[in-house]
A and B are shown apart, each in its own frame.
Chain A
Amino acid sequence: MPQQFKFLSSITARLIITLTLGTTLIWCGAAAYSTYVSYHELNEAFDHALEEAGRRLLPLAEDDVLGHEEDDGRAVQRSTEGRNEYLSYQLRDAAGRVVFRSHDAPAAPYDKTPTAGLSTVGDYRLFTYTDNESHMTITVAEANRERSNAIFDGAKAMLWPLVGLIPLNILVIWLTVRGTMRPVQRLSNAIAQRSGQNLAPLDISDQPNELRPIAQAVARLVERLGSALDAERHFAANSAHELRTPIAGALAQTQRLIAQLGETADRVRARELEASLKRLSALAEKLMQISRVDAGVGLGNQQVDLIPALDLVVGDVAKRIGKPERISYLKPESSKLISRMDMDAFAMAVRNLIDNAVHHGPSDGVVEVKIEKGNVIRVINDGPVIEADLLLGLKRRFVRGQTRNSGSGLGLAIVDTIMNQSMGKLELFSPAVGKARGFEARLTLQS
């Protein structure tokens, strides 16, 4: 559709324009037809009146003429003097001389060869009638202008109300269409609010009959989508189980092998195998996290305090690295992190940040985890400063910092996706705020 007609893509605009143009055209057509019929009917009425006037006037005019034979061309003055005549007439004798005429009638005959009955000559509509006994002929004339004025006035009286009615019609149509389209708008808004995080059932109870099948179809679609997403999330969770257990078995068996081999070449190879299994485990873990994050796990159903989840994650990491003193957890007394964020997604995010900080910081360095006002969590290590250009790209998948330590380059991308889903924010700073070195990841949770 060309750009200038883009507004026609709106059903409301189309209905308003079509209905307005349609009713206006029908009204104008009806008015034109009425005018046409009126014109003919009025002409016929005027002609009848002209004919009637001629037939009645002729005997009277003849009587008048008989008393004034000597004055053959004088005009009738008595009753019409001082005003314009609507009808004028001429009385002619058998020789065609005008022997009598009304005040406004010309001295010369209206037509040189009078035609009996109705005729139009010049600006006049004429009726000519001859008395067969006296052979006197009367011609009654009516100016065409007078007749046109009367017909035009009639048509005007019919068309003028339309000028007012058409805008009123547009207004009524606009209001009606807007009112009728309101359920469509409501349905549209309700559908627009649905997303991976909000798949609440659609309320279709107040939808009109015409929209109900569409609303029901959309409601079913939303329901199926919700089931599919749930299935995807469950699959991600179940696949975690299916993947982790065999990796755990392989790793444990390898570690037992290492313990039994003693200091031999085979032990070195077994150590390499163990390291590979740990890398595989870490990568599988990140891929499982991505799978869950892509299924849209960021937002929870209700507001919860996330402090217990943070406590668990910090405690877990401290136990896992075997040096609890490397984690400095600063939590103001009675602090809360109230958010609609999903607890598992939050745990996934902070675990990634703390793991990153531990992994990429100095081996004996301290990682600070701080809770601050405004639902802010800061995770800071004492690592080297990261260049600004690199820092900008760290939130992208498979982008890694300038580090010799291994990593998948997925951790910060996962955290960023979770924060976007939960309408929170991940900010990265290097050096850490208020320090000369280090890396700081700051989460701001949407409450």
Chain B
Amino acid sequence: MRVLLIEDDHVLGAAVREHIASLGYGVDWMTNLDDAGEALATTTYELVLLDLNLPDGHGFEFLRSLRKSENAVPVIILTAQDQIASRIEGLNSGADDYLVKPFDLSELTARAAAVARRYGGNPNPMLRFGTLEIDLARRFICVEGESVDLSAREWAVLERLVRHPNAIVGKSEIEDSLYEFGAEIDSNAVEVYISRLRKKLGRDSIKTIRGAGYKVSA
């Protein structure tokens, strides 16, 4: 999952970016709306974390213009404004969730995962693919009843594939969801993660579609 974080507080922003990256996701952190707009224009994100009071404008305006341009990226508002009127305005402006500061990073993860599942068309965090049982909310996976440990990046790759079962996901799409702007990417990084996943989950768990990408069959 590629995440755009828009937050002008450096202490909070750094911690949130680090936390999201630790989950294996690619995260781009912008501290103003201008930069965020440019990032959205050039990159496909799967989640936007949006603060409201930003130096060059208000998050609601940004969100409204985003929806007006028919960009359907999931948006979670992170704000210190806890008033109901503000919350209702946020949801009416097109936000998918609203998280009031201060929050637990684990709660942010859960909310982000819930929003991503809703967008994936299956809000149920429990998925089953043959002998695989996956709990996306708790990041827990079993193969034939045996739990398997995955690294953050491996989880991120698997999650990207299982969110859209039977759909072919290109190598570049997987790279986009793993790495932020400016990150050095090994040319065969995706192949390495796919190979590790096959070792842990079974050779047939992920299929390679030559010249197109990878897919997980339901």
Contacts and interface: CB of A to CB of B under 8 A. Distances in A.
Interface of A: 237, 240-253, 255-256, 259, 277, 281, 308-309, 312-313, 319-320, 322, 343-344, 346-347
Interface string B110-127: 110010000000000000
5 contacts: A246-B9, A256-B15, A256-B105, A319-B114, A343-B84
Contacts of B83: 237, 344, 347
B149 to A, nearest CB: 16
Contacts of A252: 11-12, 15-16, 19, 102, 105
A384 to B, nearest CB: 28
Contacts of B111: 319
B102 A248 contact: yes
A192 to B, nearest CB: 31
Contacts of B100: 244
Contact of B85 (A247, A248, A281, A344): A344
B87 to A, nearest CB: 6
6 nearest A-B residue pairs (beta carbon): A249-B11, A252-B15, A248-B102, A248-B101, A244-B80, A249-B12
Interface in B59-82: 80-82
Contacts of A243: 80
B22 A259 contact: yes
Nearest to A241: B80
B12 A343 contact: no
Judged by DSSP, the binding face of A is helix
B84 A347 contact: yes
A308 B87 CA distance: 11
User: Do most interface residues of chain B lie in helix, strand or loop, or is the interface mixed?
Assistant: helix
B146 interface: no
B56 interface: no
A55 to B, nearest CB: 110
B53 interface: yes
A313 B98 CA distance: 11
Contacts of B114: 319
A197 B53 CA distance: 29
A237 B80 CA distance: 9
Contact of B11 (A242, A244, A250, A322): A250
A241 B105 contact: no
Given A252-B11, A253-B11, A313-B84, 5 more contacts: A241-B80, A248-B80, A256-B105, A319-B107, A319-B110
A358 to B, nearest CB: 15
Nearest to A351: B82
A312 B88 CA distance: 9
Given A247-B101, A249-B15, A256-B19, A322 B9 contact: no
Interface string B91-115: 0000000001111111100110010
Point out which of B9, B87, B106 has the most chain A C-beta atoms below 10 A from its C-beta: B87
B15 A241 contact: no
Contacts of A256: 15, 18-19, 22, 105
Nearest to A306: B84
A425 to B, nearest CB: 21
A244 B111 CA distance: 19
B15 A240 contact: no
B14 interface: yes
Interface string B1-33: 000000001111011101100100000000000
A78 B111 CA distance: 136
Given A237-B81, A245-B80, A252-B12, A312 B87 contact: yes
B101 A244 contact: yes
A250 B111 CA distance: 20
B19 A240 contact: no
A256 B19 CA distance: 7
A255 B82 contact: no
A255 B104 contact: yes
Interface string B166-203: 00000000000000000000000000000000000000
A371 B46 CA distance: 38
